[in-house]
Amino acid sequence: MTVGPGWYMTLAAALFSIGAIGMLVRRNALVMFMCIELMLNAVNLTFVAAGRALGTLDGQVSVFFVLVVAAAEVVVGLAIIVAVFRARATASVDELSELKG
Amino acid sequence: MIFPEVSWAAIAPEIALVAGAVAILMVDVQWKPHTRVLGGIVALAVVSAAVLSVGQWLRLDTPGDITTPFGGMIAFDRISVLARFVLLAVAAMGVAGGWRLFERLGRRAAEALALVLLATVGFSFMASSIHLVMIFLGLEVGSISLYVLAGITRERTESDEAAMKYFLLGSFASAVFIYGVALTFAGTGRLALLGQRAFLDANILTRPAVLLIGLALVIVGLGFKVSAVPFHTWAPDVYQGAPAGVVGFMAAGAKIGGFAALTRILFTAFPSMTDEWSSVVAAIAAVSIAVGVVLALVQDDVRRMLAYSGVAHAGFILTGVVAGATATTGIWFYLAVYTVQLVAGFAIVAAVTGSAGSRSDLGAFAGLATRSPFLAGAFTVALLGMAGIPLTSGFVAKFGVFVSAWQAGFEWLVIVAVLASVIAFGVYLRVIVVMYMREPGDDAPAIPTVAARWMLVAATVVTILFGVLPQPLLDLARNAFSV
């Protein structure tokens, strides 16, 4: 049995689903953020696997762009989470309930 | 070795905006000037970007003229120039309308103004990209700037709460979008939209499942950005919690960028799959309109009301999207006039309830007609425009997208949309009644800044002018593309 790109794309789909479900069920902002990172890495795996299967470099190159964007999101996201944590001493999104209606 | 074609002319307006943003940050570090100087740099950057865009428009001789410089990344065509005009107008109006916030931010005003310019660049690139990775980059440049802007008054707990919610849901949406991009890449082997179109025209897909899932995820990701149901839940909280001075720009910029990318992807790459996506988009449109109108009716906070009305308007614009590329004129007319009304509305909210605050109860607008007839009049025109009363631009806009959807065979959607717009009158009339017929409380008179005053005059004139004489703007939008 050979492990072809299809296997990697299936694994990526599973990782993406785990990230999306974690995003929906977890309530700690840091863990939710980690779930987003998991989803982005699933995207990278899909790009690489598809690029390999199709014999084009576009997939591999796209990964760099996704990585850069993910890094930029980390910078802004962690700053926001730290600001929230400083004001409230909690990173649980359930405590963020001043805005509703 | 082949170098990609470099055409600075195609991205000159964006370069001007980035130069403005960098200049603001460096001037601020070196000389710590008055906020007004920084505002001057913003005005200079926006005006030069607009002038360069006029030059681009004239250089593109015919409506269908398109080149794709930078290795097929950038689309140099009239649609992207038109989108940039709308974005620049919204950015200028947003800064003018929220000027009091920037003055109050003090040393942080430079960051906020630079972020406004960078967000404009991001959404502009969303509109002028014809490659999915480039669209993603534009989306992220715009979105990440907006996350920071939402939390720019971070000492207020509502502001950082809004920033956190916007950030978590926005990055989730971005991840969904880029996964959709990866799957369409897996399905077609291309990332350039024209390449995908050529692939789909030349091949019969025996197993289109991966491509269809990818396309669905792309629609979902962009649906988040334009706040369409069921992906709208962030919008009311963010609009309410973010400082009022920038909310108008945030809401309008995200809508323009999102719809520019959505229409570009669907109309350029996937016209051959219209049957597959148009019914999904129609369902999202119908639910957005219905949910947006009903929830807007029950809000007691004007900003949440505007947020839910924005959800409904996203649905109305999607009503045009289902008709395909023939509706492009109507979609862009709608986007142009609605975003102007939106920015004007939030500028008035900022003037009445404080540019940095996050409470804007309907009660604060009681008797506004006696306290400030100018603001009450401007708000009335903007609200009537959003409601789509005849002789305002909103009526022409709604009419245009409804006709397109009807001709495309989506009669049921048009009926839902027309019924909902009748009910939506109640949403806007409620605010107008409070402004004109309720006794004022002991609230201090609301005085807009000079910049906000001019900006509101311009928005009012635009709303009425394009309601009475819509033809020039319609011609402009029609000349922007060819079908």
DSSP states along B99-152: HHHHHHHGGGHHHHHHHHHHHHHHHHHHHHB-BHHHHHHHHHHHHHHHHHHHTS
Please indicate, yes or no, if residue A99 is contained in any of the structural domains. Answer: no
Please indicate, yes or no, if residue B38 is contained in any of the structural domains. Answer: yes
Looking at chain A, the whole-number percentage of residues with pLDDT higher than 90 is 60
Residues of A with CB under 8 A from a CB of B: 9, 16, 19-20, 23, 29, 32-33, 36, 39-40, 42-43, 46-47, 49-51, 53-54, 56, 58-59, 62, 65-66, 69, 72-73, 76-77, 80-81, 83-84, 87-88, 93, 96, 98-101
Cβ–Cβ of B164/A96 closer than 8 Å? yes
pLDDT band of residue B156 (cuts 50, 70, 90) is: confident
Please indicate, yes or no, if residue A33 is contained in any of the structural domains. Answer: yes
Q: Which pLDDT score is estimated for B159? A: 86
Please indicate, yes or no, if residue B3 is contained in any of the structural domains. Answer: no
Chain A CB within 8 Å of residue B118 CB = no
For an interface test with A, give the residue of B172, B240, B305 to mutate (most A CBs within 10 A). Answer: B172
Q: What is the CATH number of the domain that holds A27?
A: 1.10.287.3510
The domain tally of chain A equals 1
Q: Which pLDDT score is estimated for B440? A: 78
Chain A CB within 8 Å of residue B133 CB = yes
pLDDT band of residue B176 (cuts 50, 70, 90) is: very high
Which residues, 6+ apart, have CB-to-CB distance to B443 below 8 Å? B364, B366, B371
Residue range A15-49, pLDDT digits in tens: 999 999 999 998 888 999 999 999 999 999 999 99
pLDDT band of residue B72 (cuts 50, 70, 90) is: confident
Please indicate, yes or no, if residue B27 is contained in any of the structural domains. Answer: yes
Residue numbers in A near B175 (CB within 8 A): 19, 36, 39-40, 43
C-alpha B410/C-alpha B49 separation (Å) is 39
Please indicate, yes or no, if residue B422 is contained in any of the structural domains. Answer: yes
Distance in Å, alpha carbon of B19 to nearest chain A alpha carbon = 20
Is it the case that residue B12 has pLDDT exceeding 60? yes
Please indicate, yes or no, if residue A80 is contained in any of the structural domains. Answer: yes
Is it the case that residue B125 has pLDDT exceeding 80? yes
Please indicate, yes or no, if residue B122 is contained in any of the structural domains. Answer: yes
Cβ–Cβ of B178/A40 closer than 8 Å? yes
Is it the case that residue B195 has pLDDT exceeding 60? yes
Is it the case that residue B1 has pLDDT exceeding 60? no
Is it the case that residue A98 has pLDDT exceeding 70? no
Please indicate, yes or no, if residue A101 is contained in any of the structural domains. Answer: no
Q: Which pLDDT score is estimated for B60? A: 83
Distance in Å, alpha carbon of B314 to nearest chain A alpha carbon = 20
Instruction: Please state the rounded mean pLDDT for residues B4-29.
Output: 91
Is it the case that residue A10 has pLDDT exceeding 60? yes
Is it the case that residue B282 has pLDDT exceeding 90? yes
Please indicate, yes or no, if residue A97 is contained in any of the structural domains. Answer: no
pLDDT band of residue B357 (cuts 50, 70, 90) is: low
Instruction: Please state the rounded mean pLDDT for residues B279-286.
Output: 94
Please indicate, yes or no, if residue A82 is contained in any of the structural domains. Answer: yes
Residue recorded with tokens 């909103």: B394
C-alpha B154/C-alpha A80 separation (Å) is 9
The domain tally of chain B equals 1
C-alpha B9/C-alpha B3 separation (Å) is 17
Is it the case that residue B253 has pLDDT exceeding 80? yes
Instruction: Please state the rounded mean pLDDT for residues B106-127.
Output: 93
Interface of B with A in 378-407 (CB under 8 A): none
Tokens standing for A22? 């974690």
Residue numbers in A near B136 (CB within 8 A): 65-66, 69
> Is residue B240 within 8 Å of B301, Cβ to Cβ?
yes
For B161, name the nearest residue in chain A, comparing CA atoms only: A96
Find the domain containing B322 and state its range: 8-478
Is it the case that residue B355 has pLDDT exceeding 70? no
Cβ–Cβ of B182/A81 closer than 8 Å? no
Average pLDDT, chain B: 90
Q: Which pLDDT score is estimated for B483? A: 52
Q: Which pLDDT score is estimated for B257? A: 95
For an interface test with A, give the residue of B146, B157, B171 to mutate (most A CBs within 10 A). Answer: B171
Please indicate, yes or no, if residue B483 is contained in any of the structural domains. Answer: no
Give B67's DSSP letter.
B
Please indicate, yes or no, if residue A23 is contained in any of the structural domains. Answer: yes
Question: Using CB atoms, which residue from B151, B183, B358 is nearest to A80?
Answer: B151
Is ipTM over 0.90? yes
Residue range B391-440, pLDDT digits in tens: 999 999 999 999 999 999 999 999 999 999 999 999 999 999 999 988 87
Residue numbers in A near B151 (CB within 8 A): 80, 83
C-alpha A97/C-alpha A86 separation (Å) is 16
Find the domain containing A85 and state its range: 5-90
Please indicate, yes or no, if residue B2 is contained in any of the structural domains. Answer: no
Higher pLDDT: B198 or A96? It is B198
**Half-sphere exposure (CA, 13 Å, Cβ side) for B50?**
14
Q: Which pLDDT score is estimated for B474? A: 82
Please indicate, yes or no, if residue A76 is contained in any of the structural domains. Answer: yes
| Nearest Cα to Cα of residue A37 among A75, A82, A80, A83 | A75
pLDDT band of residue B443 (cuts 50, 70, 90) is: low
Residue numbers in A near B182 (CB within 8 A): 43, 46-47, 50, 59, 62
Q: Which pLDDT score is estimated for B306? A: 93
